[in-house]
Chain A
Amino acid sequence: MVERIDAHEMAIRLQMQGVSKRFGATIALEDVGIKVAAGEVHALVGENGAGKSTLMKVCSGAIKADKGRMELDGAPYQPGNPLEARRAGVAMIYQELSLTPHLNVQENIMLGMEPTKLGVVRWKQVRQRAIEAIKEFDNPELTPDAKVSKLSVGSQQLVEIARALAIGCNVLVLDEPTSSLTQQDVERLFEIIGRLKQQGKAIVYISHFIEEVKRIADRVTVLRDGKVVGTSDVEAITTDEIVALMVGRHVEELYPRSARQPGQVVLEIENLAGAEKPSSASLKLRRGEVLGIAGLVGAGRTEMLRSLFGLDPIKKGRIRLGVYTGPASPVRRWMQGAGLLSEDRKEEGLALAMSVADNVTLSKLDGFGPFRLVLPSRQDRATRRWLKQLDIRCRGPRQSVTSLSGGNQQKVALARLLQHDVDVLLLDEPTRGIDVAAKALVYRLINDLATGSEAEGREPKAVLMVSSYLPELMGVCDRVAVMCRGKLGPTHRIDEVNEHELMLEATGQEK
């Protein structure tokens, strides 16, 4: 990898040099440096915990580096806090949404920089500038008066991006901006990034999706364990090379697929309709198969799983789970042998302040002591098994989940389904926001569960998996169905369909 030196050097917008940061005994960043020129999209890739986000938090003033220098347009730049960074023209869009849900779109966009006259907010201007910022997205859900809590996750992220645009920033840091966007919104975002590029802004783009990086970035820097392991022009490096740099080794086959025989139908739904979404969904799920549900964010896939699991109301339709028919509460669903992995790990999936052991065993506190008592030592023993099997990195079963990385948190949430030993796994975006290594493990696990093992006496399980990431559905599933505007389409065998066709179906276009 050769450092490129050309006319670009002249217009370096953002430069970070020798940045180091420690958290206690953990070295988060060690002597890291990057340069981003005006009109350049610079991708920052690496596994979770590699230091990408930490680096950009240093850049946006959210944390202070122990060592290192930063320059903005050639002048020393040392933001003491995010506000100072914003004033200097550096805006960061965090992976975790940082919106105030009770306020509406325009208030969120202009939050902290409301134009005022004699201390009174000038709402006309607020509205005008907000409209300007959101019109780029051309999203009907996004109106200045819409309450943010009522928006879908995807639209909320757009508000956040609009907020950064409204500042009129020169350096824009996007931390995994597309992880919860629909394909359409992603396209619009890429368009906007292209426009900003032409305006001479410097853009740092953090992403897990290497296809994306290849598509929109000019340069890419790979981080591993807090160090830069390579910087290159995007055109000069292959996807495989990037992945190899990220993990420090070659990933073996990402999507394993064992030979398996679908067994009897364990979940059958007919014309299921929820309060708003889905409007009509029918499917049959067998033991020993992975059925994928594709579709855009907001199509009603999550709502389908939730109403199936008794978390959202059901308007009509028939559900049969094993030998049980009809709707049922989550309590019953667990007893009937189904488990749901929530798409929202932080708000719903896990009780973050509680320990790993409590989270793993919460759905079934049986068999942890005499007289139906729950002895912590036995909870811990059961949990240790999963710590080992799923390679969950933590100090022990009593550590609170908050302090784990995203990938490890997701493994804890999955371990709950395994500990409960459910037959039907309902997985909603099981790999959202986790690193490549953790993803590989999740894929292996899904394959393993669906295949079962006669030697170990494990029966094949049934997996229903919702995902917005088509390559992963193509890699993992046996069959796939597409949900579009609340309607679930027919299921296709995976070898009879391609990504393009699925995307057309998801966006409601006939082939």
Chain B
Amino acid sequence: MQKSEMSFEHSNLFSNWRGWLNTISPVLALFAVFGLFVLIAPSSFATTRNLEMIARQTTIVGVAALGMTMVIISGGIDLSVGSIVALSTVVIAWLLRYTGVNPLVAALGGVAASAFFGLISGLLITRLRVVPFIVTLGMMLVVRGAAKGIGQEQKIDVDPVRLAWLDELLATVPQERSWMLLPPGVWIMIFLAIAMAALLRYTRLGRHTFAIGSNEQTARLCGVAVERVKVLVFTLCGAFAGLAGLMQFSRLTVGDPTVAVGLELNVIAAVVIGGGSLSGGEGSILGTLVGALIMTVIASGCTQRGYPNWVQEIITGGIIVIAVALDRLRHRRAS
């Protein structure tokens, strides 16, 4: 009796150690990439200013990737994220320009419109029983079209007076507010990341999401409301994409229906580099953020080193494949 208790303790320690290693391996990769650029890039690379810039540049992809992580864990995929980001900027700009609402309401309006399109995706996937890839591929075009329609194929400019705090989300922190360390947008991402990580780990919705991704049939057998969870997951993903759109708007200060084309692929790449599995059941928020950071670090390092854009792209592509290959290798070892 005593002995079996002991062995449990031991095994717990062991499996925790394993799990811990699994979560930090993307972090190690991040340090490796970062270290490499510290060595080869100009000395300006490792400055706090540059670090802050990396954090800012990660935010748009990072926020959208929070929702995508959940979708991918559930075994789905969402290709409409880039279009939703564009839609969100357009909706916010439109509300600011043509209605008298205050900036907060405009921002929420953008997020709500985005969540609505996520909801539509979720409903189509569960009601029509069409795979997420196809439904969201369609939604990618539908939403892009809607964004262009609202903007009448043009950018929507906003009177700077009406912007209030909206353009400060990702701006460099001014001297008098240096206590903030990071721009508010980055803080928003960090808080949401913590909330999402907790949601995935400690709530019914989170556990059900993992179960559906791991084995949908089992989840259904066990009384998980599979359809409802999926709709919720896609709605959340839409909302996060809308929030990423808010960040995008904050940088552009105009509503641009042609912005963020192909962004969804960066977002998916972040999740996958961070250990998410496209067959579902696996993925973590920490991993995803690290994945997004790795991509920004490469971009920033390459820019400072003076590499042209095409080199960056080749390196990023290589990293995606290598990261996933390593991940599979580790899995095979473990099993």
Contacts and interface: CB of A to CB of B under 8 A. Distances in A.
Interface string B210-236: 110011011111111100000000000
A53 interface: no
A330 B217 contact: no
Contact of B218 (A334, A335, A349, A365): A349
A399 B15 CA distance: 8
14 contacts: A333-B223, A348-B218, A350-B218, A351-B211, A352-B215, A358-B211, A362-B207, A365-B208, A373-B203, A388-B4, A395-B7, A396-B8, A398-B12, A399-B15
Contact of A363 (B8, B217, B222): B222
Given A358-B207, A362-B207, A376-B201, A353 B281 contact: yes
Given A362-B211, A365-B204, A334 B220 contact: no
A184 interface: no
Contacts of A374: 202-204, 206-207
Interface in A33-90: none
B133 interface: no
B223 A349 contact: no
B327 to A, nearest CB: 14
Interface in B27-64: none
B175 interface: no
Contacts of A373: 202-203
B11 interface: yes
B203 A363 contact: no
A384 B211 contact: no
Contact of B224 (A309, A333, A362, A384): A362
Contact of A362 (B11, B14, B217, B219): B219
Contacts of B218: 348-351, 359, 362
A372 interface: yes
Contacts of A365: 204, 207-208
B178 interface: no
Contact of B223 (A330, A347, A384): A330
A238 interface: no
> Can you list the 10 inter-chain pairs with the closest CB atoms, starting with the nearest?
A334-B223, A395-B11, A351-B215, A351-B214, A363-B222, A396-B11, A348-B217, A362-B222, A331-B223, A351-B218
A403 to B, nearest CB: 7
A363 B223 contact: yes
A331 B214 contact: no
Contacts of A335: 223
Interface in B133-164: none
Nearest to B202: A373
A416 interface: yes
Nearest to B214: A351
Interface of A: 309, 311, 329-331, 333-335, 340, 342, 347-354, 358-359, 362-365, 369, 372-376, 384, 388, 395-396, 398-399, 402-403, 416
A403 B222 CA distance: 21
Contacts of B335: 402-403
A384 B221 contact: no
B333 to A, nearest CB: 11
Interface string B1-37: 0001001100110111001000000000000000000
Contacts of B11: 395-396, 399
A402 B19 CA distance: 16
Contacts of A309: 221
Given A351-B211, A365-B207, A375 B202 contact: yes
A396 B220 contact: no
Contact of B222 (A330, A352, A376): A330
A92 B5 CA distance: 41
A389 to B, nearest CB: 13
Contact of B215 (A330, A334, A350): A350
A351 B219 contact: yes
A331 B225 contact: yes
A351 B281 contact: yes
A319 B220 CA distance: 20
B211 A349 contact: no
Contacts of A331: 223-225
B15 A342 contact: no
Contacts of B207: 358, 362, 365, 374
Given A351-B211, A352-B215, A358-B207, A334 B15 contact: no
A341 to B, nearest CB: 9
A386 to B, nearest CB: 13
A399 B12 CA distance: 9
In this complex, which of B4, B215, B224, B335 has the most chain A Cβ atoms within 10 angstroms of its Cβ?
Answer: B215
Given A365-B207, A373-B203, A395-B14, A349 B281 contact: no
B94 to A, nearest CB: 38
A349 B202 contact: no
Nearest to A347: B217
Nearest to A398: B15
A122 B195 CA distance: 60
Interface string B306-335: 000000000000000000000000000001
In this complex, which of A335, A340, A353, A398 has the most chain B Cβ atoms within 10 angstroms of its Cβ?
Answer: A353
Nearest to A345: B218
B220 A330 contact: yes
Nearest to B16: A398
Contacts of B220: 311, 330
Given A331-B223, A416-B222, 18 more contacts: A311-B221, A330-B223, A334-B222, A349-B218, A351-B218, A351-B281, A354-B211, A362-B218, A363-B222, A372-B204, A374-B202, A374-B206, A388-B4, A395-B15, A398-B15, A398-B19, A399-B11, A403-B335
B281 A354 contact: yes
A342 B220 CA distance: 11
A395 B214 CA distance: 21
Nearest to B5: A384
Contacts of B7: 395
Contacts of A359: 218
A398 B14 CA distance: 10
Nearest to B206: A374
Nearest to B227: A329
Nearest to A306: B221
A384 B202 CA distance: 19
A342 B221 contact: yes
Contacts of A369: 202
A349 B221 contact: yes
Interface string B281-293: 1100000000000
A402 B334 CA distance: 11
In this complex, which of B16, B208, B214, B223 has the most chain A Cβ atoms within 10 angstroms of its Cβ?
Answer: B223
A348 B221 CA distance: 7
